[in-house]
Amino acid sequence: MRVDRYDRHSLIEWFDQERVKNASVVVVGAGAVGNEALKNLALLGVGHIQIIDFDTIEEHNLTRSVLFRETDVGLRKAEAAAAACQALDPNIDVRFSSADYWEVLTFRELSLATAVFNCTDNFESRIRLNRLCLMMGTDYYNTAVDSRFVSVEVFPFSSQPDGGCDECTLPPSV
């Protein structure tokens, strides 16, 4: 008897593995929060994942990044995260770019994406990515971590283009 990798997902009535398999997500930022998002997306079997991060792995990243190992120190985060995700599930398509998303993420890629996960740690990046997703009607998931809290905000721009956006929730000081 052969057991399919995703059989357990079928026990959840509302879970649509075929939809997940056909999803195409962009994850901007492969640090601590990005690592967790990427790990979970890979384990769920999300069919197509694009990782964008211009940073390199430093030793202090290892305490917060499940996808990175000591042998990865000095490597580009996007490349190492892509390799780790591919190792978690060889059935998924994982691509990466070790550049600033502002330079490499195209309108076409955004329009074809099922969702964008913002796992960056600065407001300018969040504001720009929020605006791009709003313009393209692509669902946007914003994540944030500070010393005491973590938050995940969902902005379903594909179905609610006139709803609130990440920029709407930022404090005036930003």
- CA dist 47 and 92 (Å) reads 5
- The phi and psi torsions of 72 (rounded to 5 degrees) equal -90, -10
Is pLDDT at 1 greater than 50 in this prediction? no
pLDDT for the residue numbered 174: 67
pLDDT for the residue numbered 121: 85
| Domains within the chain, CATH numbers bracketed | 15-169 (3.40.50.720)
Q: How confident is the model at residue 92 (pLDDT cuts 50, 70, 90)?
A: very high
Whole-model pTM: value is 0.92
Residues 6+ apart with CB under 8 A from 168: none
Mean of the per-residue pLDDT values of the chain: 91
Give the model confidence (pLDDT) of 100-111 as tens digits.
999 999 999 999
pLDDT for the residue numbered 145: 73
Give the model confidence (pLDDT) of 61-85 as tens digits.
999 999 999 999 999 999 999 999 9
Give the model confidence (pLDDT) of 125-145 as tens digits.
888 999 999 999 999 999 877
| Contact by Cβ (8 Å): 120, 126 | yes
pLDDT for the residue numbered 3: 56
pLDDT for the residue numbered 107: 94
Rg for the chain, CA atoms, rounded: 16
Question: Which of 93, 119, 80 is closest to 24 using CA atoms?
Answer: 93
Contacts of 133-139 spanning 24+ positions with Cβ under 8 A: 133/157, 134/161, 134/165, 136/107, 136/110, 136/111, 137/111, 137/161, 138/110, 138/111, 138/113, 138/114, 139/114, 139/115
Is pLDDT at 169 greater than 80 in this prediction? no
- The phi and psi torsions of 37 (rounded to 5 degrees) equal -60, -45
